[in-house]
Amino acid sequence: MKKCLSLLAVSLVGFGSFAQEAEIVVPKGFKVQQIAKDLGATRQIAITKKGEVYAKLSKLKDGKGIYHLVDTDKNGYLDKKELFGEFPGTGVKIQNGYLYTSSNKGLYRYKLDANQQVIDKNAPEKIIDGLPDHGRDNAKPFVFDNSGQNIYMTIGSWNDPCRVPGTGQGMSPCAILDSAGGVWKFSANKLNQGFADGERYVTGLKNAVGIDWNRATNTFFATGHGRGQFHDFYPQYYTPQMSQELPAEMFYEFPKAGLDAGWPYIYFDQKQGKKILAPEYGGDGKKTAGEKAIDPIIAFPAHLGPNGLHFYSGKMFPAKYKNGAFIAFHAQSSELKKGYFVAFVPFKNGKPSGKWEIFADNFAGIDLANPSGPIQHRPCGLAEGPDGSLYVCDDLNGSIYKITYSLSK
């Protein structure tokens, strides 16, 4: 795990030369434009070939959960806003001539015309229904593989450590893993599927909101939210500071089906660089475990909340960004005293090739080391435009940002 530890350090090289616009701090040569605001809890976005935006809301606004946003006067701002879809949720993708979008219990799709506009906003087809929704960590983000025929959907756990209610003991075995705590595979084209029609693709992920299919490697990647409440239930093993700084937020590659990331039986301690037995299952903060569980390719600081993952394939950004991973974090680390940023992980030959770095910062709008007011924005979803620009949405105040690059800037 030496590689994992070496990648843990945050690279802030060049931060002094960064340029700031619209409150967001980005590297020199990049430009940020706020193209929409006040949309509501905007979780994920999809960009059409003409630069129009579909935005998925986790909470209904005026009874609707999807925005169709258009820049009608070509000034860079999405001035035409139309709401449709009577269900909240997270995921939204354009694929196979359809707009696919998830609720907290399943998946729908809308037929698109040649310009990728929804033909009938009142007539979605039901692809999947009846997935677990217990109100907590119930988002259903999804991705397509390279064939476009298969959907991979997260089903998060509503029980943070799979603990028996009212006790300090873990369920043994964890019964939740039968229907949650992993990623399930479904057909992209079969209507009216239920939970039984899916197959568990990977397991041991408490809640993987940031997921993507890496087109270059043809493999599935996910970011995993770490569990919490170490000191609350096990003060004999963990101090309050340890609770704030453990466990890691993980970044995994799953090159094949059937792999296990280890939740709830283990967690990854980025300080020790080891997989540690969870206290619910007899751990004391030191006992190692999880020989059959895969290792993360990167271990990020605790409680950053990775909620968006996108592998960059465009040509607009400099060569270092090609095939690398952007990750949107919508929470903060007490250890770093930073958060609410978009990070970048460079890749080479399909593997991380250097330190991760903060790419777009200051969505919070305040100094998190010495906060002077409320958080202003939380980056959540990422998408790539047809020109290679990067879009970032905010699930706190409903802003959408477009990040572009030019050598002349």
DSSP string over 76-92: SS--EEEEE-S---S-E
From 398, 380, 385, 366, select the one nearest 25 (Cα to Cα). Answer: 366
Q: Where are the beta strands (DSSP E) in 129-181?
A: 142-144, 150-155
**DSSP states along 258-322:** T-B--TTTEEEETTTTEEEE-GGGT--SS-B--TTSPPPSEEEPTT--EEEEEE---SSS-GGGT
Q: Judging by beta carbons within 10 Å of its beta carbon (0-12, 13-18, 19+), is residue 122 exposed, middle or buried?
A: exposed
β-bridge partners, 126: 108
State which fold the 30-405 domain adopts.
Neuraminidase (2.120.10)
Q: What pLDDT does residue 23 have?
A: 81
CA 134 to chain centre: 20
Q: What pLDDT does residue 408 have?
A: 65
Q: What pLDDT does residue 16 have?
A: 33
Q: Percent of the chain beyond pLDDT 90?
A: 92
CA angle at 175 for the pair 173 and 176, rounded to the nearest 5°:
130
- Structural domain boundaries of the chain? 30-405
DSSP SS3 for 339: strand
Distance, in Å, from the CA atom of 182 to the CA atom of 259, rounded to the nearest integer, reads 10
From 130, 134, 225, 139, select the one nearest 186 (Cα to Cα). Answer: 130
Bridge-based pairing of strands 125-128 and 107-111 is antiparallel
Q: What pLDDT does residue 15 have?
A: 34
Distance, in Å, from the CA atom of 77 to the CA atom of 69, rounded to the nearest integer, reads 9
Joined tokens for residue 235? 């003060």
Joined tokens for residue 208? 């993987």
Amino acid sitting at position 310 = H
Distance, in Å, from the CA atom of 63 to the CA atom of 80, rounded to the nearest integer, reads 18
Q: Which residues contact 254 (CB under 8 A, 6 or more apart)?
A: 183, 201, 202, 219, 220, 221, 222, 294
Asked if 133 and 87 touch (Cβ cutoff 8 Å), the reply is: no
- pLDDT tens column, 212-261: 999 999 999 999 999 999 999 999 999 999 999 999 999 999 999 999 99
From 228, 218, 230, 185, select the one nearest 203 (Cα to Cα). Answer: 185
Q: What pLDDT does residue 166 have?
A: 86
Distance, in Å, from the CA atom of 198 to the CA atom of 195, rounded to the nearest integer, reads 6
pLDDT < 50: residue spans in the chain: 1-22, 409
β-bridge partners, 361: 25
